[in-house]
Amino acid sequence: MSSINESIVLVGGGGGVYRIARFLKHMRSRITTIQTTFDHGGHSGELRDERGILPAGDIRQAILALADEEVEPHLRALLAYRFVPHRHSSLDGATVGNILLAALTDITGSTISAIQTLSQWFRVRGTILPVSLDDAELCVTLSDRSVLRGEGRIDTRAVSDGRTIVSAHLEPDAFLYVRAYEALHTADKIIFCPGDLYTSTIPNVLVRGFTDAIVESRAQLVYILNLMTKKAETHQFTASHFAQVLLSYLGRPRFDVVVCNTASVSSSLRARYHAEQASPVRVDLRQLRRYAKRVVTAALVDETGGVVRHHARVASIIARL
């Protein structure tokens, strides 16, 4: 098989999968995203509570990322549109894409059919899959032995909260969606995308059957490291700490490849993130090499819009591996 036709699976949630899928689709045609389905914050959480549907936020972002660039701009804007607060409207904070997925779930009778329909409308170049169809809550045990239940509560802990996360689990158990298993099992590359470690990445691994699929797969296992730490989840984590924690849930000793950033973040943005006690991830190469057969370093910081994100060149690195 030529590298152009290789099968690449992106695992994660939120902006990390969006960013990589958006750039990679111009280089590879066989992309599958596997999204976490345990969000419980914002409008996705409200729809989950009210209508019992899977959280739609990460799936909506993946559809946008893999959508054909020639899709009408206003249609793309519609999918991403979030209503701004207006006189205590019932639409405050609601996202049109989430509403469309909820409506299509009712119309078609299933979440999968809803995703497929919306993907067809936006001429998605790839496949978008939930990691599980089961309704479960993400839970974490903190350093004081207390347990936090619900992704929203975990993700939005106050900066002043000095407790750290010790472990994570799902309640009740969730099981890997069969098409997600097939995608992992037959992939040429499995990419763990950057994102909140405990609320975007690890929840996928906690699903029963996920690690089995990884063990059975012959895919190259790649981890794209975060650019910044986050107080609620990865305070003062180094690059090796990120890799070591994720591997502990995967039950693997090493990744095939870890990709990390060597570029500096501007002082103005560092100061802005410092207010949230977030900082650039320090790359401790000597320790990191214990957790990867190969470490790829590159300047990966993009500060467009006053936010630290991965530069488009990360997709080129993935394609060349």
Asked if pLDDT for residue 315 goes beyond 90, the answer is yes
pLDDT at position 190, please? 98
DSSP three-state, residue 274: helix
Q: Residue 289 CB: number of other CB atoms within 10 A? A: 15
Task: Quick: pLDDT tens for 92-106.
Answer: 888 888 889 989 999
Q: What gap in Å lies between CA 94 and CA 75, rounded to an integer? A: 17
Confidence band for 85, pLDDT divided at 50, 70 and 90: confident
pLDDT at position 87, please? 77
Identify the CATH number of the domain in which residue 138 sits.
Answer: 3.40.50.10680
The residue range of the domain holding 235 is 3-320
Q: What gap in Å lies between CA 210 and CA 275, rounded to an integer? A: 37
State mean pLDDT over 175-181: 98
Task: Quick: pLDDT tens for 258-273.
Answer: 999 999 999 999 999 9
pLDDT at position 71, please? 84
Structural domains in the chain (count): 1
pLDDT at position 221, please? 98
Task: Quick: pLDDT tens for 211-220.
Answer: 999 999 999 9
CB 131 within 8 A of CB 210: yes
pLDDT at position 74, please? 84
Q: What gap in Å lies between CA 321 and CA 24, rounded to an integer? A: 13
CA-based nearest residue to 154, from 270, 45, 236, 238: 45
Strand arrangement, sheet containing 165-171 = 147-149, 137-142, 165-171
Q: Left if phi > 0, otherwise alpha if psi is -120 to 50, otherwise beta: which for 204?
A: alpha
pLDDT at position 48, please? 72
CB 177 within 8 A of CB 210: no
